[in-house]
């Protein structure tokens, strides 16, 4: 029987990865220009980490995590998000004691959700976290970084929504009033919202049920509950963004799906990807590090779904094809093959960025040049009996209307000038 992938988990094939590789390299360069350093993390953690961080009453913990007992009967979970793991790594490795850290990571996350376009059971995220920073300036910088990223990547059709969740006392009072409000309107809630009423009532505000729109719009507004410090913090974030020329909309119903957020939260959204509109989301989590077992440390971060970013990029720009060789070398016979290996290594020595594909498996020159063309190579080097006899190679352009030229083996360095012209 032909093997299949697990439902909701996809192979990323060479033809699709051109855009992925381009975006990843550009994003890394951008975040590192803001002082962020890479951290690499295990894809599995003890289940307790996510129960403590995300919250036991959340859909992620109750319904969506891939959890199993290992051979020591310890409960292990494939990470559903990266923030908890980054915090755990900071505590475990002593990175947060009287220190500030700006870190980024990238990799697969796992959630047992209903697979649909833009939402998969294994999905890729790019995360940045700034730990040890309490002021509104870092909140604004993370958002400004995103704005620069959209500009460099030529991403259009994206807008910024921001809100403040206040402190934990603010949210506790608001949560109580929200439960009372929705309880008084219980008959107007859908089943999903009824299930969330006491475990995670703020998530009801995220409901996409159009029949509940009026009810949600008339619900209490969290901004009306903010303490004075949170109000001042949020005001400064907005002022910095305005001074930087960043357009935003305050959305009082934006609450984020994880329990650990406080104060500033934000989402970059698009209207061109259907229901999966959130491309990059984040917020402040000042209580999480202490909750997991570290010392009280303010922090903020964001996560970006790479599948959605790829789709959005390809909506705004042309798809980037897989990486192709600069040169395809066609050969005739064993001596030509020997020379081809020698030349290819000399060229790589001259320019490590050059991409060379040697013909393997024989074949006529006609069939080899067909392979060269199919490889999307820019040039073909031909080494046959005449070339060996007269100590030169023939260079044929496959993408331009140029005459075939002869280059002496002794002048091989000229090739790199031609290829990268």
* pLDDT digit string, tens, across residues 171-202: 888 888 888 888 887 777 887 777 777 777 77
pLDDT by residue (tens digit) across 327-364? Answer: 999 998 889 999 999 989 999 988 888 899 999 888 88
Task: Tell me what the mean pLDDT of segment 318-334 comes to.
Answer: 85
**Helix ranges, 276-333 (H):** 288-292, 306-316
Handedness of CA 54, 59, 308, 275 (dihedral sign): negative
Cβ(359)–Cβ(328) below 8 Å: yes
27 pLDDT higher than 80? yes
Kindly report, as residue ranges, where domains of CATH 3.30.930.10 are found in the chain. Answer: 14-166+226-316
Triad 39, 263, 266: Cα angle to 5°: 65
Cβ(303)–Cβ(290) below 8 Å: no
Give the architecture (CATH level 2) of 327-419. 3-Layer(aba) Sandwich (3.40)
* CA separation, residue 114 to residues 19, 122, 227, 256, 420 (Å): 26, 11, 39, 20, 47
**Helix ranges, 185-333 (H):** 191-196, 213-217, 228-243, 288-292, 306-316
pLDDT by residue (tens digit) across 118-161? Answer: 678 999 999 999 999 999 999 999 999 999 999 999 998 899 99
DSSP of 19-70: HHHHHHHHHHHHHHHTT-EE----SEEEHHHHHHHT-TTSHIIIII-EEEE-
**How, if at all, do strands 356-358 and 327-331 pair?**
parallel
Which helix (H) or strand (E) covers residue 356, if one does? Answer: strand 356-358
Distance of CA 91 to the CA centre of its chain: 24
Cβ(11)–Cβ(318) below 8 Å: no
Handedness of CA 152, 153, 156, 157 (dihedral sign): negative
386 pLDDT higher than 70? yes
**What number of other Cβ atoms are within 10 A of residue 324's Cβ?**
13
420 pLDDT higher than 90? no
% of the chain at pLDDT higher than 90: 43
Give backbone dihedrals phi and psi of 396, rounded to 5 degrees, phi first. -115, 125
Region of 364 please: left (phi>0), alpha (psi -120 to 50) or beta.
beta
Per the structure block, which two tokens stand in for 82? Answer: 């990266």
Indicate the average pLDDT of the chain: 88
Handedness of CA 286, 292, 297, 301 (dihedral sign): negative
Distance CA 127, CA 132 (A): 17
* CA separation, residue 96 to residues 4, 88, 92, 252 (Å): 43, 10, 9, 32
DSSP state, residue 119 = B
Q: Identify the band that residue 257 occupies on the pLDDT scale cut at 50, 70 and 90.
A: low
**How, if at all, do strands 249-250 and 159-164 pair?**
parallel
306, 307, 309, 312: CA torsion to nearest 10: 170
Triad 125, 127, 132: Cα angle to 5°: 160
Kindly report, as residue ranges, where domains of CATH 3.40.50.800 are found in the chain. Answer: 327-419
Q: Identify the band that residue 34 occupies on the pLDDT scale cut at 50, 70 and 90.
A: very high
Q: Identify the band that residue 403 occupies on the pLDDT scale cut at 50, 70 and 90.
A: confident
Which superfamily is assigned to 14-166+226-316 in CATH? Bira Bifunctional Protein; Domain 2 (3.30.930.10)
Q: Identify the band that residue 258 occupies on the pLDDT scale cut at 50, 70 and 90.
A: low
Cβ(93)–Cβ(46) below 8 Å: no
Question: Can you name the residues that pair with 68 across neighbouring β-strands?
Answer: 76
280, 281, 287, 292: CA torsion to nearest 10: -60
57 pLDDT higher than 80? no
What proportions of the chain, in percent to the nearest 5, are helix, strand and coil?
Answer: 45, 20, 35
């Amino acid at each position: 029987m032909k093997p299949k992938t697990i439902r909701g988990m996809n192979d990323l094939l060479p033809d699709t990865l051109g855009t992925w590789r381009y975006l990843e390299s550009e994003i890394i360069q951008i975040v590192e220009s803001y002082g962020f350093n890479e951290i690499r993390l295990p894809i599995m953690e003890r289940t307790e980490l996510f129960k403590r961080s995300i919250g036991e009453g959340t859909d992620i913990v109750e319904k969506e995590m891939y959890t199993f007992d290992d051979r020591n009967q310890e409960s292990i979970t494939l990470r559903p998000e990266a923030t908890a793991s980054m915090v755990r790594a900071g505590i475990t490795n002593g990175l947060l004691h009287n220190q500030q850290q700006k870190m980024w990571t990238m990799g697969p996350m796992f959630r047992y959700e209903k697979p649909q376009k833009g939402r998969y059971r294994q999905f890729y995220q790019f995360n940045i976290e700034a730990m040890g920073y309490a002021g509104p300036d870092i909140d604004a910088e993370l958002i400004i970084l995103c704005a620069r990223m959209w500009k460099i990547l030529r991403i259009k059709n994206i807008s910024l929504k921001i809100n403040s969740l206040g402190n934990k006392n603010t949210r506790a009072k608001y949560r109580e009033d929200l439960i009372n409000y929705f309880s008084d309107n219980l008959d107007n809630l859908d089943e999903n919202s009824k299930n969330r009423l006491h475990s995670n009532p703020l998530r009801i505000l995220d409901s996409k049920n159009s029949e509940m729109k009026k009810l949600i719009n008339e619900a209490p507004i969290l901004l009306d509950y903010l303490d004075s410090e949170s109000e001042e913090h949020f005001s400064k974030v907005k002022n910095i963004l305005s001074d930087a020329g960043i357009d935003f909309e305050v959305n009082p119903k934006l609450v984020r799906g994880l329990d650990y957020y406080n104060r500033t939260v934000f989402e970059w959204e698009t209207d061109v990807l259907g229901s999966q509109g959130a491309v990059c989301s984040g917020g402040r989590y000042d209580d999480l590090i202490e909750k997991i077992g570290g010392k009280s440390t303010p922090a903020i971060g964001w996560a970006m779904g790479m599948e959605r970013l790829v789709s959005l990029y390809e909506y705004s720009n042309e798809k980037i094809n897989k990486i192709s060789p600069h040169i395809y070398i066609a050969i005739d016979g064993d001596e030509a093959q020997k020379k081809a290996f020698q030349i290819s290594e000399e060229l790589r020595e001259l320019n490590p960025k050059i991409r060379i594909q040697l013909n393997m498996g024989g074949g006529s020159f006609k069939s080899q040049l067909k392979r060269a063309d199919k490889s999307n190579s820019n040039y073909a080097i031909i080494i046959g009996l005449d070339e060996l006899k007269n100590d030169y190679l023939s260079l044929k352009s496959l993408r331009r209307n140029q005459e075939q030229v002869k280059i002496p083996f002794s002048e091989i360095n000229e090739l790199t000038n031609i290829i990268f012209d």
